[in-house]
Amino acid sequence: MTAPNTTATPFAEAVEHLIKSDRRMAQLIERVGPCTLKLRHEHSIFYSLLRSIVYQQLAGSAAAAILGRVDELFPGALATPEQIAAVPEKKLRAAGLSKNKALAVKDLAAKTLDGTVPDGKIIDAMSDEEIIERVIEVRGIGRWTVEMLLIFRLGRTDVLPVDDYGVRKGFQRIYRLPDLPTKQQMLKKGEKWRPWRSIASWYLWRAAETAKPKLKQPK
């Protein structure tokens, strides 16, 4: 097998580790190529979570339209926890948020202001599990939402979102399982991928997006 050219890529070390540790993952990497995972550093932790709440259970275009109307409530800058805490719930509802989502973003603002949801240097110093435990205290936010924050906003490299359908589907395809894998199966296999399980997850998402991959049988 010829390894993909990973020189000068941000995740070269991760890709090399995955290639060496897992033959099926190596075959997937050979087909997909270098990891191009992009981090979203442009948003605050608060706004990243607000955006996640808005997007829950909605098509991308519909969610983007609603988020745009929420943003229009605060001209000139992205919403801050102080602004969301002060805005009447009825204005959030008028922007298109359901009652539950309006209450969720209000709770997010309150828990950001009281320090439950960490930010800045505080969150940088916390472990993944510590962050998850704190942020899931917010109404409407579960473990999966925080795992996406860890991967795509904070750049944490060893997150394996075992509840994510795309990750599970990609796992099923590359290991040729008759059914979606259990959490235990994924966690056991994922031990080989440490400390780069976020990068492995990115490749599993790519596998889920494509037709059934034609992978070589391992020797």
User: Which residues are annotated as catalytic?
Assistant: 164
Largest CA distance in the chain: 63
Q: The tokens of 209 are what? A: 């997006």
Q: How far is Cα 176 from Cα 82, in angstroms, rounded to an integer?
A: 49
CA 84, distance to chain mean position in Å, is 23
The alpha carbon torsion through 132, 113, 141, 209 (nearest 10 deg) reads -80
Phi/psi at 4 (nearest 5 deg)?
-65, 155
